[in-house]
Structure 1
Amino acid sequence: MMTTKTALASSLVALGMFVGCGNRAVDERIAALGEEDPNVPVGEFHRPGQPCVLCHGEYLRESPVMSVGGTIYAYPTQTAEQKPLPVKGVKVKLTDSFGEQYEVGTNCAGNFFIEADKWDPAFPLRAEIEYPVPGALESTKRVVMSTRISRDGSCAGCHVGNPNQGSPGWVTCAAAETNPPFPPQDPACPGAAK
């Protein structure tokens, strides 16, 4: 004969199996990203400016599983409607709390990522970028992030849109448009503005 306590415990176990062990907050953040752009194949060029590790981290384990990922843009945009200019060939250098370093470059979408099985850093991380200076032959400029990356390997976990009270803004090479300007995105890059 089943007691009320046993029935309640059985019901809670069944409910737990039905609902699963998901994380509602993370699930909602993933849902808020919206659908894939049908013009961009899923891969290293998709979803620039979005939090890569949200899907490609330990929670969903989308392939490849990443420890760090992000997008580097040229400079903040002038308006919210203006699309930011991604920069290819930026060196992203990260140093973990034990002094281990990893360096990776950006692709034509401005995206970069580090697969977790290649580098599993100990947070917090120090981040710096080195980008090719427009118009200066073989000249680069280095920018060091003034704070540390505390635990989210997605740059877009904090860096979203133009700078505002809720975000330091996208990760950019320069604080404003440069003269000479950064080169336009290669039109053959998957997802490039047409």
Structure 2
Amino acid sequence: MLLSSSSKRAAAWIVVLGLCAASSGCGDPLREDAVVRLGDELPGVPAGPLHRAGQPCLVCHDGSTSTPFSVAGTIHLRIDGAQPAASALVHFADGLGNTYRVATNCAGNFFVRPGDYEPAWPLWVRVEREGWTQVMESPVNGDGSCASCHAPAPGPGSAGPIYMIPFEGEPEEAGCP
């Protein structure tokens, strides 16, 4: 029996996929590329809740290799993004009216695990800290990694960092351990 070229291609893909599944050596190339583009860890900051401040957390924390997060990000104190906003409260309200609140750590990072809160998109966000409140003007529509839209520099693909105070002048705080 002769196989058509499309049948041969389909059979080849079945073999490749079977080999990948058996060896656990094939992953999502787009995800793997995104992880590589994050770069190395900062010296002196071990992997954990204080690392990679300002980066898109769910690139790694999607549950495939690291602890999964449903929502995660970094809050900065000032508009320049140079200083973390420790102890800020991040409030969420999802499309079904479910709410959740989480505090930032000393790196300004926060994360929510799926077992604690799994938002029904869209998601509205408000951040509070020491009498200051910032409300996100538009809802989040399905990507729980805040830095996907809030990269360090504003531009066509980024609203810039998430910050509490739109001016400089707040006293410097002690850094993380």
TM range (shorter): 0.7 to 0.9
Q: Which whole-Å CA distance do the structure 2 matches of 1:76 and 1:162 have between them?
A: 10
Pick from 122, 130, 148 the counterpart of residue 157 of structure 1: 148
| TM-score of the two chains, using structure 2 as the length reference | 0.87
Distance in 2, Cα, partners of 1:156 & 1:165: 14
Summarize the Cα distance change of 1:122–1:12 in structure 2 as closer, same or farther, 3 Å threshold. Answer: same
Counterpart position of 1:141? 132
Counterpart in the other structure of 1:15: 16
Matching of residues 1-194 of structure 1 within 5 Å: 3-5=2-4, 7-18=8-19, 22-58=27-63, 60-63=64-67, 65-77=68-80, 84-132=82-130, 140-178=131-169, 181-186=170-175, 189-190=176-177
For residues 13 and 23 of structure 1, do their structure 2 counterparts lie closer, same or farther at Cα, with a shift above 3 Å needed? same
Letter in 2 for 1:74: L
The one-character-per-residue Cα deviations of 1:19-66 (angstroms, maximum 9, x if unpaired) are: 5674333322121001222411211101100111111124x2412x11
The one-letter code of the counterpart of 1:164 is G
- Long gaps (5+) in structure 2: none
User: How far apart, CA to CA, are the structure 1 residues paired with 2:79 and 2:153?
Assistant: 6
d(CA) in 2 for partners of 1:35 and 1:18?
A: 30
Tell me how far apart the structure 2 counterparts of residues 67 and 32 of structure 1 sit (CA, whole Å): 21
C-alpha change, 1:126 and 1:11, in structure 2 (3 Å) is same
TM-score by length of 1: 0.80
Contact 1:48–1:109 (Cα < 8 Å) also in 2? yes
Return the offset for 1:16: 2.6
Cα distance in 2 for partners of 1:7, 1:144 equals: 55
Give the Cα–Cα distance (whole angstroms) in 2 for the partners of residues 96 and 105 of structure 1. Answer: 18
Q: Which consecutive residues of structure 1, in runs of 5 or more, have no partner in the other structure? A: 78-82, 133-139
Aligned equivalents of 1:182 and 1:94: distance in 2? 28
1:80 corresponds in structure 2 to: none
For residues 104 and 143 of structure 1, the distance between their equivalents in structure 2, rounded to whole angstroms, comes to 15
Distance 1:159 1:48 in 2: 12
Instruction: In structure 2, give the amino acid aligned to 1:42.
Output: A
User: Residue type of the partner of 2:99?
Assistant: Q
Cα drift, residue 129 of structure 1: 0.3
Q: Secondary structure at the match of 1:9?
A: helix
